Amino acid sequence: NAGVTQTPKFQVLKTGQSMTLQCAQDMNHNSMYWYRQDPGMGLRLIYYSASEGTTDKGEVPNGYNVSRLNKREFSLRLESAAPSQTSVYFCASSEMTSSDTQYFGPGTRLTVL
Amino acid sequence: GQQLNQSPQSMFIQEGEDVSMNCTSSSIFNTWLWYKQDPGEGPVLLIALYKAGELTSNGRLTAQFGITRKDSFLNISASIPSDVGIYFCAGHTGNQFYFGTGTSLTVIP
């Protein structure tokens, strides 16, 4: 039981490049989330998926797209990376969006040059 | 987005001292949560609070859900070196979680 896993752990991109961050959970949770963490700003929600087949915007969705591939997997795509997207990205899951506890992955550290 | 103000931003304490940090919001939350984040890792849930006025303990950690539902505090008693990390408060309402900016704790042996 690995919980929430994320790949890659580190990534360096040039401005304008695209990439997809992968997230998977093995807890049979319905809801999954993508956050970004910047110094002094806490965690901010990018997108979430309440259940398989649905996605919704969070607080900072611009420049990102998501895909809920199946119940286990939720990916985050940067179509044209910008330096402002340099951040640490965390995926999380919870039983439902109304659940009070989330479980986080270890994070992906992304640098955009 | 909803703003959670967490204080202090950082703390440097001697091993064995007690620690207190708090979180305030302009909005009401149904649930307050406290997480700890170790360097290079994701946040891990420490305590969840569900009712206004609730006081909950988890070992040396004690947290309270404020009466107004707009604030919460976390106390750590008799700190030890492994308490080092960043502590985040979070409020849950509707479908979303909102996080504070974190309190960085350094424990000096």
Q: What integer pLDDT is reported at residue A34 of this predicted model?
A: 97
> In chain B, which stretches have pLDDT less than 70?
1-2
Q: How far is CA B81 from the centre of its chain?
A: 18
**Contact across the interface for B102 and A42, Cβ inside 8 Å:** yes
Q: Is the pLDDT of residue A2 over 80?
A: no
Confidence of residue A42 (pLDDT cuts 50, 70, 90): confident
Mean pLDDT taken over chain A? 93
Percent of chain A with pLDDT over 70: 96
The DSSP bridge pattern shows strands A108-112 and A87-94 to be antiparallel
**Contact across the interface for B99 and A56, Cβ inside 8 Å:** no
Q: Is the pLDDT of residue A96 over 80?
A: no
As given in the structure block, the two tokens for residue A104 are: 């986080």
With beta carbons under 8 A apart, name residues in chain A contacting B43.
43, 90, 104
Residue B42 has its nearest CB partner, among A45, A56, A90, at A90
With beta carbons under 8 A apart, name residues in chain B contacting A47.
none
Mutation target for B interface from A10, A95, A102, A103: give the one with most B CBs within 10 A.
A102
**Contact across the interface for B42 and A40, Cβ inside 8 Å:** no
A31 → chain B, closest CA residue: B95
Q: Is the pLDDT of residue A1 over 70?
A: no
Question: What is the rounded distance in angstroms from the CA atom of residue B88 to the CA atom of residue B37?
Answer: 8
Q: What is the pLDDT of residues A45-95, one digit of tens each?
A: 999 999 998 999 998 999 999 999 899 999 999 999 999 999 999 999 988
**Residues, chain B:** 109
- B51 DSSP assignment: S
**Contact across the interface for A40 and B101, Cβ inside 8 Å:** yes
Q: What integer pLDDT is reported at residue B89 of this predicted model?
A: 95
User: B75 and B96 in contact (C-beta within 8 Å)?
Assistant: no
Helix, strand, or coil here: B79?
coil
Cβ of residue A58 closer than 8 Å to a chain B Cβ: yes
Task: Kindly write down the DSSP assignment for every residue of chain A, as one continuous string.
Answer: ---EEEE-SEEEE-TT--EEEEEEE-S--SEEEEEEE-TTS-EEEEEEESSTT--EE-S--TT-EEEE-SSSBEEEEESS--GGG-EEEEEEEESSTT-S--EE---EEEEE-
Q: Is the pLDDT of residue A100 over 80?
A: no
Phi-psi region of B104 (alpha: psi -120 to 50; beta: other; left: phi over 0): beta
Question: What is the rounded distance in angstroms from the CA atom of residue B18 to the CA atom of residue A109?
Answer: 33
With beta carbons under 8 A apart, name residues in chain B contacting A100.
31, 33, 48, 50, 92
Residue B50 has its nearest CB partner, among A4, A92, A100, at A100
